Structure 1
Amino acid sequence: MRKVFQEELAQVGEQLVEISKLVSEAFEKATTAFEGADIDLAEDVIAADARIDFLQNSLDERAIDILALQGPVASDLRMIVGSLRMSASLERMGDLARHLAQLARLRYPANVIPQPLQETFKNFAKYDLEIAEKLTVLLETRDLEVARDILKANTAVNDLHLSIFKSIARSDWTESAATTVDVALASRYFERFADHGVSVAQKVTYLVTGAWHPTSIEHS
């Protein structure tokens, strides 16, 4: 019975990794569509989000079944509850990739972001993609050094997010109201994507150390 239980736990972990890989792929495609006004790629991202949603629901159902039927304790219980919370964050990251693709589709054939801010958003994409890719590594290895790398990338994303709001608040900002809203929304999507990545990293840290603290990644 214990062997079956451990196999079920392993399958939950494998599903988290699978979702993480799909999120990373979705985000990479979404940012490419976003930067290049590629409507076909944007449509691919939007359609593929259903697969992430399906896998999240499947994982959650499996985890709830384990809770109901196996009565896990201690670290096993932490693993199951943590997996439920991580799957929710990963699913939300997939939604944010979809939102970027939807913005690209909405403004096609124009680019969403005006030229002066395009480099900033390329940096957003670079750091967020780093977070997405490192999340998969973290879920596979539970290497807390990877978790610390995610935290560093998130700091860079936060700085970029702040710079965007400073830019659109400047007296020499002359873009239309629609463009201003697009820029603010897009910046928020990138920032929230990174925040959810940090949330997953913190939960993995909790599984490894048994301690929950917002800065535990830094001090572990």
Structure 2
Amino acid sequence: MRTAYHEQLDTLNLILGEMCELAGTAMARATQALLQADLAIAEEVISGTDKMTELSARAEEQAFALLALQAPVAGDLRGIVSAMQIVGDVDRMGALALHVAKVARRRHPAKALPEEVNGYFAEMGRLAVQMSENARDVIRSQNPDEAVRLQDDDDAMDDLHRHLFTVLMDRDWSHGVAAAVDVTLLGRYYERFADHAVLIGRRVLFQATGKTPEQFLEVS
């Protein structure tokens, strides 16, 4: 019975890892559409949500099957509940990539971003993709140390987000209110994408150890 449970949980984690990979790919493409004002790529991201929806449904079905068929005890139940929470986190990451693509589409044929903030968003996009890949690897490995390290990437994303606001608040900003609103919203989308990757790390750590990152670091 326990062998069957672990095999099914491994299958669930593989699905969650694939979802993380899809979210990262979507954000990479959305960032490309944003920086290049590429309508075709933006439309590709916007219309390409079926696979994520399919995987999300499969993951939830697998989680419910584990609950119904395996009679999980406390530690097992922790793993299943955490996995179900991860489904929500990855779904949200995919939705945030979709929001970025929609901004690129709305402003086409113009670029949504003023030239002076392109570098910030190129780096935020790179970090977002890296974090989705790290989240995928953490889900698959269940490695507590790697799960905690996701916070380091989030700190880098937060720094970029703060610096972005110094550009927006500069008295020399000459791009008007609409551009400022776009930049503010887009910065928030990338920041929240990173936050959900960190939440995945927290949930995997709880799956693996029953501890929060703070508790884990205290005894490490």
Shift of 1:153: 1.1
Shift of 1:70: 2.4
Range that drifts further, 65-74 or 126-135: 65-74
Equivalent in the alignment of 1:194: 194
CA contact under 8 A between 1:161 and 1:191: conserved in structure 2? yes
CA contact under 8 A between 1:32 and 1:38: conserved in structure 2? yes
Matched, 1:58 2:58: yes
Equivalent in the alignment of 1:39: 39
- Give the Cα separation in 2 of the matches to 1:206 and 1:35: 37
Equivalent in the alignment of 1:10: 10
- Give the Cα separation in 2 of the matches to 1:132 and 1:191: 13
Range that drifts further, 11-20 or 92-101: 11-20
Matched, 1:90 2:90: yes
Equivalent in the alignment of 2:171: 171
Q: Cα distance 1:194–1:217, how it changes in 2: closer, same or farther (>3 A)?
A: farther
Q: Which consecutive unaligned segments of at least 5 residues does structure 2 have?
A: none
Offset from partner CA, 1:191-216 (integer Å, 9 cap, x none):
00000000001111111221125x35
Range that drifts further, 132-141 or 186-195: 132-141
Q: Which consecutive unaligned segments of at least 5 residues does structure 1 have?
A: none
Equivalent in the alignment of 1:138: 138
Offset from partner CA, 1:93-142 (integer Å, 9 cap, x none):
00011111111111112211101111111111121111111111111212
CA contact under 8 A between 1:205 and 1:216: conserved in structure 2? no
Q: TM-score, normalization: structure 1?
A: 0.92
- What SS does structure 2 have at the residue aligned with 1:71? coil
- The sequence identity of aligned pairs, in percent, is 33
Offset from partner CA, 1:54-82 (integer Å, 9 cap, x none):
21122112212321332201221111100
Name the amino acid aligned to 1:50: D
RMSD between superposed Cα atoms in Å: 1.7
The equivalences for 1:96-135 within 5 A come to 96-135=96-135
Q: TM-score, normalization: structure 2?
A: 0.92
Q: Cα distance 1:180–1:217, how it changes in 2: closer, same or farther (>3 A)?
A: farther
CA contact under 8 A between 1:202 and 1:217: conserved in structure 2? no
